[in-house]
Amino acid sequence: MINGNLLHSGCWLFVLVASIATAQETQVTDAVPPALTEYMGREIAQTMHFAGAPWLTRESRQREEDCDTMVKQLQLKPGMTVCDMGCGNGFYTLRMADAVGENGTVLAVDIQPEMLRLMEARAAEQGLDNITSILGELHDPKLPAGKVDLILCVDVYHEFSHPEPMLAAMKNALTDDGAIVLVEFRAEDPNVPIKRLHKMSKQQINKEMNANQLFLRREFDGLPWQHMMFFGKKQIE
């Protein structure tokens, strides 16, 4: 015979477990908003898979993008805390680490652990120990609040599936005078041999940044294929 009290208790236990599971599922759903496929009239591109990482370190990249000049334009100084957002296999992470020196820090953020492992292996080969790996989420880069002097996004912002929460988190991570730097292939130039989905125009970049209370501070137009635009939390008086 089944004890009636036990059966009654078992039913309540089942209800309690089911309620907890539902609450947890609701929390997860609330924590991660739905991914967007379009934003402010622009189709969002897919994130590069880690299997394509060798393209980031291709031999022709310096010639095509003038990477040395781009890094110089960042005006990095020893002791700075900077972020390589969507760091991939660390092509720019390692350069930034060298520029900020042993007293500086590079926060290397990527949503693919495989990319972070590739970056860490390359950093170890060069003996760099001022890099912190951060496994971000689609809507949250996991950056510390108010600590970052510069956030570099090279050909990555157009892949953000959650642009608004990402920009809000990046803005929150900046110091008062910190900057978010977008480097994006020029949509205005048909001679740039990149798929249209992976290009952005200045007009579109400014529209999206301004809508998220980020304001253009300066720009550099001397790269072969890309825009380079610096945004801060405050408008220039």
CATH number at residue 155: 3.40.50.150
Residue 85 in any domain: the answer is yes
Kindly state whether residues 21 and 75 are assigned to the same domain.
no
Q: Kindly tell me the burial class for residue 52, based on how many C-beta atoms sit within 10 Å of its own C-beta (0-12, 13-18, 19 or more).
A: exposed
Residue-level pLDDT at 236: 76
**Same structural domain, 9 and 66:** no
Are 135 and 188 within one domain?
Answer: yes
Average pLDDT over the chain reads 89
In a domain, 237, yes or no: no
Higher local confidence (pLDDT), 32 or 103: 103
Q: How many CA atoms lie within 13 A of 2 on its CB side?
A: 6
Selection from 154, 142, 149 nearest residue 88 by Cα: 154
Q: Which range of residues forms the domain containing residue 82?
A: 38-232
Domain assignment of residue 220, yes or no: yes
Q: Which of 48-62, 91-105, 214-228 has the lowest mean pLDDT?
A: 48-62
Examine the domain organization and report whether 71 and 131 are in the same domain.
yes
The pTM for the full model equals 0.86
Same domain, yes or no, for 122 and 221? Answer: yes
Is residue 115 scored above 50 in pLDDT? Answer: yes
Q: What angle in degrees, to the nearest 10, is found between the helix axes of 113-125 and 93-100?
A: 50
Quick check: 70 pLDDT over 70?
Answer: yes
pLDDT at 30: 55
